[in-house]
Amino acid sequence: MRGLRRWWDDTAGGLPGTFWYLWSGLLINRAGAFALLFLSLYLTAARGAPPSLAGLVVGAYGLGGAAGTLLGGVLADRWGRRATLLAAHLVAAGLMAALAFTTHLAAIAVLATLVGVAHSMPSPAFVAAIVDVVPEARRSRAFNLQFWAFNLGMAVASLLAGVLAEASFAALFLVDAAATLAAAVVIALRVPETLARRPAPTPRAVAGRRPGLHTALTDRTFLVFVGLTFLLAVLTMQTSTIMPLAMREDGLRPSAYGLVVALGGALIVAGQLFVPRLIEPYRKSSVLAVSTGLMALGFGALTVADGLPLYLGAAVVWTVGQMLAAPPNAQINADLAPLELRARYQSVFYLTFPAASFVAPALGGLSLEHLGERHWLVVGALGLLAAAGHLLAGPRRERRVAALRGAVAVPVGSAR
């Protein structure tokens, strides 16, 4: 009993109440996030779209997400974290309900783009709020728990979605809308505003340069990290964009796809809380290289997958890679962001995911049509490229983080 208590203290102890309400809102939202898992399948099976057109429509979601991510970061720094979260959740709920009753492909594409905007806006605000309220020493735990909640919700969603998709695609969109609305209620009732209205000036601001979104967009060390994260996101997006199409070509039912996604979520739920202690002795760049290499191996193995057992085995490999990558990836992102630009840096970082949501299905659909199973060799090669990139970029990134911490430690008065 004492050992269990110590493990819990090491894993989640000392985190403030506001974090747990943010965590709960994220969990509720993801548990009802059915629709996007099956959007490509919905377009091909229910609307008769070919895989390439389905990929473009799903890609439109990612295109909207790119704009939504940047908008969410700017609003979270100017307007506030709480207000941004509420607005995005309420708009997303309305748009998902509209998708449930829309049948025309052009209208679906427009709504998918707008949903991408609304779905991506909360990400910078969520992470910025966590950084606002969680002390630096406990942030790795907080980010690990955030990733755990995300995947616990996805595991629940995928299990239910596979069944619902065979009964009614419209139900997917409506349940998604209801879960998004429930998350908005939690935020409205229990999450205060965490934005510090007068943050301490960053070194660039002190030097007379007014910081803004352009600061993140011209930060070379940060952008290299963002580029490597983009490659990782392209790999991750295969599970929700291209893999269901590949499984369908192999004669597998939607419930089989739901089982593969649920397995990944279950592994993360069962093992993610043990990851921080496992990777603590190692450099973040080394952990990210190993994790991305495992993802490359898992997706590359789909080249020879033609039945459910092989898909499940490959899912185990790439899921372990995702589990190892989550804490250092989030921690590096937070470490590289100056105080008064937290949400803007988060928005540029999270831009990788909607960008990958566009690139992965748009190019992946064409790749699957023309390359067939060899598509997964290309995906595996991208993963190995990202693994090598982390090893090469790691030392410079570590020097930059040390320099930022030293600058923040200098009293503002002495900096002047």
Sign of the dihedral through C-alpha 152, 190, 8, 275: positive
Residue 3 lies in a domain: no
pLDDT value for 45: 79
| CA atoms of 240 and 242, how far apart (whole Å) | 6
pLDDT value for 2: 61
pLDDT value for 204: 47
DSSP 158: H
Residue 55 lies in a domain: yes
Instruction: Tally the C-alpha atoms within 13 A of residue 79's C-alpha that lie toward its C-beta.
Output: 18
| CA atoms of 76 and 122, how far apart (whole Å) | 9
pLDDT value for 13: 62
By the 10 Å C-beta count (0-12 exposed, 13-18 middle, 19+ buried), 103 is classed as exposed
Domain extent at residue 365: 16-191+213-408
Tally of CB atoms within 10 A around 158: 26
Residue 63 lies in a domain: yes
Helix, strand counts (H, E) of the chain:
21, 0
Determine the residue type at 200.
Answer: A
| pLDDT, tens digit only, all 416 positions of the chain | 565 556 555 566 678 989 999 999 888 877 766 667 678 778 887 788 887 788 788 778 878 888 888 899 889 988 899 999 999 999 999 999 998 888 888 898 899 899 989 988 888 898 889 988 988 778 888 888 888 888 777 767 766 776 666 777 788 888 889 889 999 999 999 999 988 754 444 444 444 456 677 888 888 989 999 999 999 988 888 887 788 887 877 777 777 887 888 788 788 878 888 888 888 888 889 999 999 999 999 998 888 877 888 888 889 999 999 989 988 888 888 888 887 788 888 888 888 877 787 788 778 777 777 777 788 888 899 999 999 999 999 888 888 888 776 655 444 333 33
By the 10 Å C-beta count (0-12 exposed, 13-18 middle, 19+ buried), 319 is classed as buried
Residue 5 lies in a domain: no
| CA atoms of 295 and 317, how far apart (whole Å) | 7
Task: Map tokens 């990290």 to a residue.
Answer: 225
CATH assignment at residue 88: 1.20.1250.20
> How many domains does the structure of the chain reveal?
1
| CA atoms of 166 and 129, how far apart (whole Å) | 38
Residue 6 lies in a domain: no
Tally of CB atoms within 10 A around 384: 17
Phi/psi region, residue 5 (left: phi>0; alpha: psi -120 to 50; beta: rest), is alpha
Residue 386 lies in a domain: yes
Residue 111 lies in a domain: yes
pLDDT value for 306: 78
pLDDT value for 8: 56
Using alpha carbons, list the distances in angstroms from residue 366 to 216, 345, 362, 380: 33, 32, 7, 17
Residue 131 lies in a domain: yes
| Three-state DSSP class for residue 200 | coil
